[in-house]
Amino acid sequence: MNQKIDCFITFHGKQETQHSINQLKLSRQVQSVFVFCQSQVELKGAETLLVSHPNATKSMEMVAEKSTAGFVLLALQSTALGLGQFALERMVQLAECGEASMLYADYFELKAGVRSNHPVIDYQMGSLRDDFNFGPAQLFRREVLENFVSEKYPNYQHAGFYALRLLASRMGDLWRVPEFLFSMTETDTRQSGEKQFDYVSGHAREKQIEMEQACTDHLRKIGGFLEPNFQAADFSGDFPVEASVVIPVRNRMKTIRDAVDSVLSQKTDFSFNLIVVDNFSTDGTTELLRAYSDKRLVHVIPEATDLGIGGCWNEAVFHEKCGRFAVQLDSDDLYFDDSTLQQIVDKFYEEQCAMVIGSYQMCNFNLEEVPPGLIDHREWTPENGPNNALRINGLGAPRAFYTPILRQIRIPNTSYGEDYAVGLAISRTWKIGRIYQAVYRCRRWEDNSDASLDVAKQNAHNAYKDSLRTFELRARMKKNQRG
């Protein structure tokens, strides 16, 4: 094989970077190696390129300017890159099999000296989230970089690579190679539950704005952008109560009392009830619920034994005692104060929306606030929120729905992403109202379902949400085609 790859890596310490360069130069596939640096450093066998951020638009333009080989390898993470046996040869071999615009591969992950397999997931149309894991290195056809320059993207500081890979998806397929071709030292050893709120930190706001802009541009180009022309909800009709709080529960003896009491203590100018769908608890939760004498508590034990959280929600929503609005509360959380339910119902009428999403305060088991504190999803705007919803991984909490529309859409019978699926579907047609002050307390403790997920579970969750985005994106493109 002739030399076919120009490689671009990020500086990650002089000794470690030199080792990565030496590895790359051992392959006959490699024509040149370039290193992105923030200050000048002397390295053998590579040209250094001064950039403010390796993911910036100008960095991608610099790649296009410097590369002359048929393929470009980008390894932009600031960590040591390891190459498997004939890894680059394998990538080129597969790239030449078809018209893929980008390839990426599974990899080995090194944590504290321990190596473990880290498979990634297949890319699909709905893989729009900006944190999609492509592994430590990606192989692009040079034509993608050339087109990137000709499309004249804004001067992104953070979203240049994101815009590049969205462009690649418009030019061809993004192929995953299900082989462990690379290795990467993982420096972030936090558990999954600790990482999931990084995007709301203060320094992330500028990045989030750029990512939204790049995603919105992509949606316009593929015909998936929604104009802010939403249908108002009609709240007519008779219901047994104005609002029903819905709590699916299974084995939450430690927290269910707090949740129930926070609902029954709500002060409202309308009637409400609480529908608790008890999914065959075995730890005493059932007996605790039966001990309540308050008639507003509707204790439901479903006949079906195959229900996830979404299926339990359907049991409540289609129950004869379900009110005009169905309002979410998880079994280990509680409402912020006694005005939460009133605020949510008021928001429905104020904006004639089909769904209301509030804001929540992160706290520990003892209800003491913990970082990052308030999660308010202020990235949502009435004009572009439904489009940006295809990029982010969740819409917030608590969630509340106009019951007839929820009955029309129905909720997927899963225990992950079911709320996201419904929110996407609603936002295609109806307005979603937002409350930006805390109305909910979200407990983070060791029994949270997402506290510590292994790679296989994280991949399954991410693949499912990507599929939801794919379904929704296709529906929006079809809607736009109809006019």
The predicted-structure confidence for 55-90, as pLDDT tens digits, reads as follows 999 999 999 999 999 999 999 998 889 999 999 999
Q: What is the pLDDT of residues 357-369, one digit of tens each?
A: 999 999 999 999 9
Per-residue pLDDT, averaged over 331-343, amounts to: 97
Mean pLDDT score across all residues of the chain: 94
Burial tier of 7 (Cβ tally within 10 Å: 0-12, 13-18, 19+): buried
Nearest to 159 by CA among 207, 103, 203: 207
Burial tier of 147 (Cβ tally within 10 Å: 0-12, 13-18, 19+): middle
How many CB atoms are located within 10 Å of the residue 203 CB? Answer: 7
| Residue partners of 444: CB distance under 8 A and separation at least 6 | 193, 362, 363, 364, 370, 451
Burial tier of 305 (Cβ tally within 10 Å: 0-12, 13-18, 19+): exposed
- At 445 the pLDDT is 82
What is the SS3 assignment for 474?
helix
71-75 and 47-50: which strand pairing? Answer: unpaired
Instruction: Map 211-246 to HEC letters.
Output: HHHHHHHHHHHHCCCCCCCCECCCCCCCCCCCEEEE
Q: Cα separation of 150 and 164, whole Å?
A: 12
Q: What is the pLDDT of residues 129-147, one digit of tens each?
A: 999 999 999 999 999 999 9
399-402 and 325-328: which strand pairing? Answer: antiparallel
Q: Are 73 and 27 in contact (CB under 8 A)?
A: no
In this predicted model, which residue has the larger pLDDT, 78 or 248?
248
Per-residue pLDDT, averaged over 18-42, amounts to: 95
Inter-axis angle of helices 160-171 and 205-222, to 10 degrees? 20
What structural domains and CATH numbers belong to the chain?
5-190 (3.90.550.10), 243-452 (3.90.550.10)
Q: Cα separation of 109 and 79, whole Å?
A: 11
Lowest mean pLDDT among 71-75, 164-168, 190-194, 379-383: 190-194
**pLDDT range class, residue 1, cuts 50, 70, 90:** very low
Amino acid at the residue 189: T
> Residue 422 above 90 pLDDT?
yes
Per-residue pLDDT, averaged over 389-403, amounts to: 96
> Residue 159 above 90 pLDDT?
yes
Q: What is the pLDDT of residues 171-188, one digit of tens each?
A: 999 999 999 999 998 765
Per-residue pLDDT, averaged over 257-283, amounts to: 98
**pLDDT range class, residue 190, cuts 50, 70, 90:** very low
| 78-92 b/e (C-beta count within 10 Å ≥ 16 → b) | ebbbbbbeebbbbbb
Q: Cα separation of 173 and 122, whole Å?
A: 11
> Residue 195 above 70 pLDDT?
no
> Residue 202 above 60 pLDDT?
no
> Residue 472 above 70 pLDDT?
yes
How many CB atoms are located within 10 Å of the residue 363 CB? Answer: 18
Q: What is the pLDDT of residues 203-232, one digit of tens each?
A: 688 999 999 999 999 999 999 999 988 999
- At 96 the pLDDT is 92
- At 3 the pLDDT is 64
- At 464 the pLDDT is 98
> Residue 18 above 90 pLDDT?
yes
> Residue 370 above 50 pLDDT?
yes
Q: Cα separation of 69 and 115, whole Å?
A: 33
**What are the respective helix, strand and coil percentages of the chain, to the nearest 5?**
35, 25, 40
- At 112 the pLDDT is 82
Q: What is the pLDDT of residues 435-467, one digit of tens each?
A: 999 999 999 888 766 557 999 999 999 999 999
Helices and strands of the chain, counted as H and E runs? 15, 18
